[in-house]
Amino acid sequence: MTETMVNLSTSDTLADSAGVKIQPHVSCHDFSVFYGDFEAVKKARMEVERNRVTAIIGPSGCGKSTLLRAMNRMNDFVPGARAKGKMCYRGQNIYSSDCDPVELRRRIGMVFQKPNPFPKSIYRNVAWAPKLNGYRGNIDDLVEHSLRQAALWEEVKNELDKSALALSGGQQQRLCIARAVAMQPEVLLMDEPCSALDPIATSRIEDLIHELKTRYTVILVTHNMQQAARVSDFTAFMYMGELVEFGETDLIFTSPKQERTQDYITGRFG
């Protein structure tokens, strides 16, 4: 067992009061997701550290997207899906009845597999959610700030009124990141953000992820092991719904503890 795994067994409060270890930003404790009778995520345990990039890898259908979507309760809208166990954000169980899922999603933003800008102008794509949530500051500043953070400002600053759908795929994905960032979340969930993009656009997004982690905690699902190795600080490997191994990326890729992890990263299946 790695050190991280050991830490998992201690409760949040203990770690908190001890003050030795920083409270994990997001963590799951024997967390399971069911689609009807099918258990898509089986008793996952992991702790995501603040301002780090955590990658979740694994073969397709292993439940990595389900786990990611569970982190801001996006699975609520999937008919027949239900969660068991604890998923904590800053130590608070987000699946308890006193958690407001809408507020949760404002703090945990998400970027999806396929770029999905709204069929509105670039400006309104970014400004939509802040306006909706009663943002008090200057919206124009916020839009510029967000687009800058997503490294898109220079490309679109003269055509903010253009339809977002007219952008290229990579630009659309960065716009989606800007849109998520505009809500000033603490955590960014990214569900295979590069799978629909060409290699150049992919590398730009990867650079962007590097920059983003100075401000946000990034959790990234990817089927691309090289990408995980390039951008992440921590890596979780999932297989058939089980979270097989979790640890620092270097360790996972150089000396995995589990045989299944070894098999996967050396390409014996997947």
Please report, as ranges, the residues that interact with other proteins according to CB under 8 A. Answer: 72, 74, 77, 79, 89-90, 92, 97-100, 102-107, 109-110, 112, 114, 116-119, 128-130, 132-138, 141-142, 144-145, 148-149, 163, 165-166, 176, 179-180, 183-184, 189
Which of residues 126 and 225 has its CB atom nearest to other proteins in the complex? 126
Q: Burial code of 89-128, b = ≥16 C-beta within 10 A, e = fewer?
A: beeebbbeeeeeeeebbbebbbbbeebebeeebbbbbbbe
CB of 165 to other proteins, least distance (A): 4
CA angle 87, 34, 191 (to 5 degrees): 65
Residue with tokens 């070894």: 262
Which of residues 209 and 225 has its CB atom nearest to other proteins in the complex? 209
**DSSP SS3 for 175:** helix
CB of 112 to other proteins, least distance (A): 6
Which of residues 97 and 158 has its CB atom nearest to other proteins in the complex? 97
CB of 220 to other proteins, least distance (A): 15
Terminal alpha carbon distance of the chain: 24
What is the helix (H) or strand (E) element at residue 30, kind and residue range? strand 26-35
The amino acid occupying position 30 is D
Which of residues 154 and 267 has its CB atom nearest to other proteins in the complex? 154
CB of 208 to other proteins, least distance (A): 12
